[in-house]
Every structure is written in C-alpha cells, then in structure tokens.
Amino acid sequence: MPKILVLDELSQDGLALLESAGSLEVEVRTGLKGEDLHQALLGADGAICRSGVKITADALKGNTRLRAIARAGVGVDNIDTQAATRLGIVVMNTPGGNTISTAGTHHRPDAGHVAERRPRLPKPDRGPLGPQKVHGHATGRQNVGIIGLGRVGQAVATRARGLEMQILGYDPFLPGARAKELGIENVRVGQGHAPLGRLPHRPHAVERCHEEPHRRRRGADAKEGAPG
C-alpha cells in the first residue's frame, strides 16, 4: 500500500479525503527537519507539504522510493525542485487553492473600504447621532482600479462586479478579449484617464498611485493584485 507522508498541518477535511481513498497509508509527521526529515522521506511514496517544511537536496539524497511531492498552496519555493527532478520525483502544487481566500482577504473596494474615506462615527460621549452626522455611501457605480490581473486580481474583479462597481485594470499580459469578458476596462500606462496615476510597476504601485490623486478618476479606489 502506497504511503503518503503529510509534513505540515492540514485540515481534518483534507486528511479525511486522503484516508477515504482506502488504498493509501497516511502518516502525519510535522516539524521534521535534518536527518529526521531525510529518513521519513526515504520510507514514503508521496509527500504533502505546505510552506513550513523545507525539502532540500539533502533531505532527498539517495531517495529511490519517493515518487511525488505535492505542495498544498501556491509556489514550490520550499522544495528543491532541481534535486527532485534529478531523482525522478514529480513536484506539484495547487495554484488555485488560495485564490478565493486571498481574493476575499484583499477584496476591500466594498462598503468597508469606501467607509475608510469617510469621516469616523462620532463617539457616544459627543452627543446623539443624527442623520446630519452619519450618511451612507453606495458602492454601485464607484470606480475601482486593480493593478495586476492574474488569478487573484481577476477574482477580486469578479467580486467588485457583483457590487456593480466600475472596474478598471492594468495588466500588460491580459488579452483584451479576457478583460472584456470580465467586464474590465484595461487601461494603459500613460493613458490620460487612468484611475491609478501612472500605474507604475510593483512593489510600491499602490502607494505611488495614492501620491498622485489628481491623476485618478473621482471616487476611484486603487487595488494591487498579483500579475501571475
């Protein structure tokens, strides 16, 4: 029976899915490193990790049994892919696994984000609240700019479209047809009406955009997404 070694903490649902296969031996061993990790991998057919464990060339040295390493998440920077390839070990990841959660975390052009640009609510000790002191601000038809329209950026755009916001984006690699499909106006660097200033490249794009508010459309919010 193939043995799967789980090297980082996974949700119980994930472990239950592995065990439900009925044809796999699943062993969870977290926090391994050095020789302990090396020995554990020697006795496994497959390994699943997140970002905690570091699977180096030394950890894989002399391994003739291990066939695959799966990273639960985006990227494989904690795995020596070259060493794995030399040994015939397949390295894979789940690039879409974090897209929804990341988009949800960074999707702030909503009521809460718009509220950040409005006066704070008065404290209770400053008297009763009245309609003249507090007013709402609708998100519909507001402009939101997204720099980088990869998986996460597109997921953010989908959520903004659900709020009936006007979406403007910048990504030199996004085909025009795809931008139209997503309901995004794909602006260009130097375009006069660009809501994000000169739309400079990362890593300080949003900060620089906010330094040039006169270049943005009225009511526009700047949001930076990943380009890949």
The one-character DSSP state at 215 is: G
Looking at 87-171, list the stretches that DSSP marks H as alpha helix, in order from N- to C-terminal side.
Answer: 99-106, 111-116, 151-162
For residue 30, what pLDDT is reported? 96
Mean pLDDT across 20-33? 94
- 2 CB-contact burial (10 Å; exposed 0-12 / middle 13-18 / buried 19+): middle
For residue 24, what pLDDT is reported? 94
Separation between Cα atoms, residue 184 and residue 188, nearest integer Å = 12
Q: How many Cβ atoms are within 10 Å of 154's Cβ, its own excluded?
A: 22
Mean pLDDT across 16-27? 93
Asked if 215 contacts 193 with a C-beta cutoff of 8 angstroms, the reply is: no
Give the percent of the chain with pLDDT over 90. Answer: 35
For residue 156, what pLDDT is reported? 84
Q: How confident is the model at residue 142 (pLDDT cuts 50, 70, 90)?
A: confident
Mean pLDDT across 119-135? 55
Does pLDDT of 18 surpass 60? Answer: yes
For residue 106, what pLDDT is reported? 54
